[in-house]
Amino acid sequence: MRIGVVGGSLGGLTTACLLQDAGFDVSVFERSTTALTERGAGLGFLEATGRYLTHRAGVDLEDISVATDHIRYLYRDGSVAHDQLHRYLFSSWNTVFGHLIRCFDQDRYHLGHELIDVEQSDDDVTARFSNGATFTGDVLVAADGIGSIVRQTLQPAAAAQYAGYVAWRGTVQEQLLPASVTDQLGDAITYFVHANGHILVYPVPSIDGSVAPGARLLNFVWYRNYLAGGELDDLLTDRAGSVRHLSVPPGQVAAHHVAEIRAVAEARLPEVVAAVVTATEHPFLQTIYDIEVDRMAFGRICLLGDAAFAVRPHAAAGTAKAAEDGWRLAAELSTVGDAAQALERWERPQLELGRELLERTRRVGRRSQVDNDWVPGDPDFLFRLHEHGDQALEPEPGRSS
């Protein structure tokens, strides 16, 4: 079976590795013309996110993630409002991607392939790219993210809906911060909740993957409300004057907006949290959108991860959901010989998972950004993929986990 994966980020690459392991002929098509990098952006390392590396690639969790043992909330004066024992693992996009890409056949990972069109028949599916290349195979997996061309083609009504706020993000090297800051923030995910917003800080591996204390990064995510229209458009206008609707990358956020968040941080955040924000050289922006589809399988084509459901980051589960989509897809294609039947079987549980996760993250966003009824210790705010806690996935038929 020949399978094309459109999109070579974490979800698409995890899926490609799983399909490759299952014995399929797999090719990945990534629109970027250069090797992907996200400069150390942090991510919650849920079970499904790291499962391929730990179960298939033999990677030790301690080598690719940072463990925190506390969930801690601060008052404005920096004193502790709430502290509970709860273990999380955090990694970074670069660290996970760097290990995954080494597991895939490099000759089948194609950069510079921007999808422009797809079509299918009873016998095959064809993808066409802006560089003139084409792919024809048995299955096409659309893992092309929140701006998915495949979703826009097959589910045009599933448009992105602005959630009313953005996530300011950034990282700073621990060694550039005072010991008083790293000592307080290095063993926990630390929250400060304020009117119509909140910020969280946690340690992640360094750009080169180091997880040693002192060599790591501190990662912050600060959710702030902006009105749709002029206010949001001004925020998303980069230094070159272009409006970037999905995100504004490091170094491209307009200088006056960077100055504004630093000033607000110093005026309104606990001192140790503000220190992380103000020390971040190039903060960047992620616009928070909801996307929901009513179908994920279309004959020989399927939508995976953010290409189907764009969920808010509050559960730290977007990457985990894409990975679980991939695990389930590889299992169904290995079990059912007919591609269209396999995708049909795969679709129902993944639709249910996507809908549940989207609704849960919407609820958390509403409570934190609008209703202001966030209560420290509420289990609704825990990072997890599944409503009632994460669970192990079933291994592929014929394979041991």
What is the structure's pLDDT at 40? 59
* H/E element, 345: helix 339-366
Phi/psi at 200 (5° precision): -135, 145
SS3 113: coil
User: Which letter does DSSP use for residue 367 in this model?
Assistant: I
For residue 297, the cross-strand partners are: 302
CA 124 to mean position of chain CA atoms: 31
Fold of 2-44+94-160+290-381: FAD/NAD(P)-binding domain (3.50.50)
Q: Does the domain made of 64-91+161-289 have the CATH classification 3.40.190.80?
A: no
pLDDT tens track for 184-221: 999 999 999 999 999 999 999 998 889 999 999 999 99
Q: Check pLDDT > 50 for residue 397.
A: no
Mean pLDDT within 1-16: 97
Burial label, 144 (beta-carbon count in 10 A; 0-12, 13-18, 19+): buried
Q: State residue 353's pLDDT score.
A: 97
Q: If DSSP states are collapsed to H, E and C, what string results for 264-275?
A: HHHHHCCHHHHH
Domain extent listing, the chain: 2-44+94-160+290-381, 64-91+161-289
- Cα gap 161→143, rounded to integer Å: 19
Phi, psi of 159 (to 5 degrees): -85, 155
Could you give the residue ranges of the DSSP H alpha helices within 58-168? 61-64, 93-101, 149-154
**What are the tens digits of pLDDT across the range 149-197?**
999 999 999 989 999 999 999 999 999 999 999 999 999 999 999 999 9
| Residue 35 φ/ψ region, left for φ over 0, alpha for ψ in the -120 to 50 degree band, beta for the rest | beta
Q: Flag whether the pTM goes above 0.85.
A: yes
Q: What whole-number percentage of the chain has pLDDT above 90?
A: 90
pLDDT given for residue 390 in this prediction: 62
- pLDDT tens digits, one per residue of 275-297: 999 999 999 999 999 999 999 99
Instruction: Give the whole-angstrom CA distance, residue 224 versus residue 161.
Output: 17
Nearest-angstrom CA–CA distance, 243 and 126: 32
